[in-house]
Structure 1
Amino acid sequence: MRKTDDKMILIVLVLVALGLAALVGGSPVSLADDPPASNKPGVSPAAEGAPSPQTPDEPPSGEVQERAVPRMAPGVTLFQPMVPAATTPPPLPGQFVIQTMVKQTYLTAVNGGGKTTDVIHTDATGIGSWERFKLLAVDPVNRQYAIQTVSGNYVTAVNGGGLSGPAVLPGSQTTDVLHTDATQIRSWETFRFGLDLPFWNFIQTFRGNYLTAVGGGGKTTDALHTDAVKVDNWERLRVWKCGDLGSGYQYAIHAPDGVLFAYGGGGRVATVVDIFRSGAIGVLTDYNLRPNPFDDNWERFRLIQQGDGSYALQTSDGINYVTAIRGGGLSSGTMAWDNLVTDRTQVQAWEKFRFVDQGNCSYAIQTVSGYYLGKTNAAPGTALGVFSTNISDIKYAIKFRLVMFF
């Protein structure tokens, strides 16, 4: 046994010695999975005078990189805002139209989109398909949306904003400050929607500038700029809701003479005699004449769709709902009890309303009994409620317009 053990030790020592010799000599050991020599690291072809191979993400020599955004080299982390998403962000329900404050005209995507010149007009007085836009929620927490035209293209703020008129491109070509031909959503196709004065929106470009309706609207050339650094009347817009209202979204509900509010944010049944023409539900006709105290949040109503397609209107306190007493059919309220109250905490039949789309971005509101909201027959200033709930012919119903709170 001892001789056998000595032989085994001798064999092991010989093998170890051979391995050390291979390492010292630098001879590589051939492995079955070793990559071909052409794929191994070595001297770059450029160092030997050969043309350097182009990496997949590297632009060809002399190519102008789109929007001057640096491309990311392999292994290098750079901030490139809003690269195209792997999936298209979800759209908000329905469509929207954008109205100027000064001229009360609408923005039109000429030809429904797909243009780089003569892109947007601001002179429309009616609403057609070219005036309707979809909003896609890129980052709803920060109120950032892409604006999609009827053609399916996206609105682009050239250079991310900051332009005061048509820009001149190389070759003496001109381009508008907005395009409507984008097919992907990147940073320049992202806009922030916000509120300025009560009930008025602003639209902010990626660079932080504001969209301006030149002259307050009413233009077919040089209609929009993207270089404003503060919001004034030309930057104030109203983004009206059209079509599907979705469920769970908050809206301001506009009557022809003002915006609705739930006094105290909800929880009321009686009219309040010190508020002009107001009860549990009021209409604010002039912000400068608002009640004191007053909270702008009182104008927020959350529309919660029910299983039958109707809506419950939750007040801003997040607890109460609007109720049509007796399910509608009343010409006015009384000094002790309004015909629309806001003290109920559960949705039953009287808390259900239908928003009947009129096809022009306005709605009639119908109670569960089939009656519509209309003008009250109470004398102004008597505080007997602001609406009747007994209109049987939709032709005479009040037509409401809605602004979504982004």
Structure 2
Amino acid sequence: MNKHLRSAFMKALAGCGAAVVLLTTAAPAPAIAANESAEVWLTDLSTGTRLAKQANLTFGPDDGAAGTSIVVDENTQYQQMDGFGASITDASAWLLNYKLTSAKRAEVMEKLFGQTGIGLSLLRQTIGASDFNWEIYSYNETAGDTAMNNFSIARDMPYIVPMVKQARGVNPNLKVMAAAWSPPGWMKKGQFPDAVHPMATGYLDPQYYGAYANYLIKFIQAYQGQGIPIYAISPVNEPGLQIKDYPTTYMSISDHNNFIKNNLGPAMRNAGLGTKIMAYDFNWDNVSFPDQALADPAVNSYVAGTAYHHYGGTPSAMTTIHDKYPNKDIWFTEGGYGSWNPSFNGMMREMIAVPRNWSKSYILWNLALDQNNGPTVLPNSINWGTVTIRSEAMDSVTYNDQYYAIGHFSKFVVPGAHRIASTGYNGGTLDHVAFKNPDGSKAIVVFNHGSASNSFKLVWNGQKISYTLKANSAVTFKWNNNGGSGTAGAVSLKASANGSFVSADNAGADPLVANRTAVGDWEKFRLVSNSDGTVSLQAVTNNKYVMADLNNGGRLIAASTAIGTWEKFYRADAGGVTTLRSAANNQYVTADLNLASPVLYANRATAGGWEQFAIASAP
């Protein structure tokens, strides 16, 4: 983590107006009636309002009157999002594990990762020690052990692995990335000559390239053995950084490329690992390094894309790389905040600018730090955690501005969503970015970075919402394609258990069954958002509502003419899949393959693979 380049941070907003290039064009959305209802979530620091739900607003016909307009076009799609998150560093894990009671920890985890909280969907974990640790360590301190016979993640087992597991228990679709700050000290040359700092500074000795690749593979396998799949990996965090107080590793572009194409890439492929390799993983201010990495055909064949931090340069650097290598992904993997960049204004502007410049992610740094901005091996820390957990007491938790800023995105944009076009971005004081979730719902985040209130029209599908946003305030609108009568544009449901679409036609009767390979009329449903937070489904073909028939074991049947308790379901979305829980009996809807057809029932106390569905706009 390069806190010594923090003076360049405020320049990072200069690229927020970077042009974007069309990636894909989706099929036109079905026509939607007027009176569409949108949720409104507001942060207004002047009144102490933080990510608070306001009264829903209703889209009405756009009268075409002049004024500031933000136009959302869901048919113009850009990159697909992996999500939003933070890092459970050694410091964060220790505080979560030891400074919270089990009940309080469950509450905090739900507020961070749960559906009633902000639904964080990404973690970036450190491979060994970083600067926010009790001590510096690696997973193999046996010099010369190139076969990694003494490799062990035992140091992570008391509290780091358990906290990651608990987070994944709250959000089972939570993806985990990882980055190494340094190889073991015995693999390095030129490091700081102090036994107290065995991994600080220096570079990876070429004779240990193979051993280090093996080290990283052992880490991936060890975490997978703990039930924590590693989605992506960076071989070195911030290559080129040299600081004596914590693990850092100098890696030139030549060394970086040689290591990936001759060692790490082949070794991971031979090991049969599906973990992605992210190149670079450093600041925006060096465009040459990621460019040279992707320009090497061999490196390009092994890496999924490039990763970035915000301690120098501007977000437009990511668009520069995207435009040159449009088939490679981009991630933003570390954004630290502290006394040098404390403003909510800066946070919101950057979190909007990053996805607008093609990043699939926005990841904060420490998930939690204490009142002294630690624990840390740094002599002084000016970092802030997403939450503050006091270390001299129990169960003392403060949710900081970072929490609410990223919550404006993570709570409403699920993995698998696409960024979609929102125009009217350049000029004025309104920054915004819009997304379309896999289920067809839309979300847009708008921030007023000016010094006065700003009134605007949010225009979508020929409809508008008028809104006035105060200075230094953020708002997220989310809507689900509900028509004026409370019913929705047609959607389909696909059971994850067998990959089949749900149909309301069971040989001429009405019970729902997951056995169709394509979407026809009987496989289309209108999705209804009810005022109490539940949803209902209405079969398009017979216009009957789906009910959990408690007289028949909770069987789902499209047979009701009105919405009552039996026709209501609690919906939860994570990782591109949806679970439905009946409001009538509090049981999850299942497509149990052990049952005939399989007919859908609301009769499961917990949700697993059979209880997961993909909801998408129906053709």
Instruction: State the TM bucket, normalised to the shorter chain.
Output: 0.3 to 0.5
TM-score of the superposition, structure 1-length normalised?
0.37
Question: TM-score when scaled to structure 2?
Answer: 0.26
Higher helix share: 2
Which structure has the greater CA radius of gyration? 1
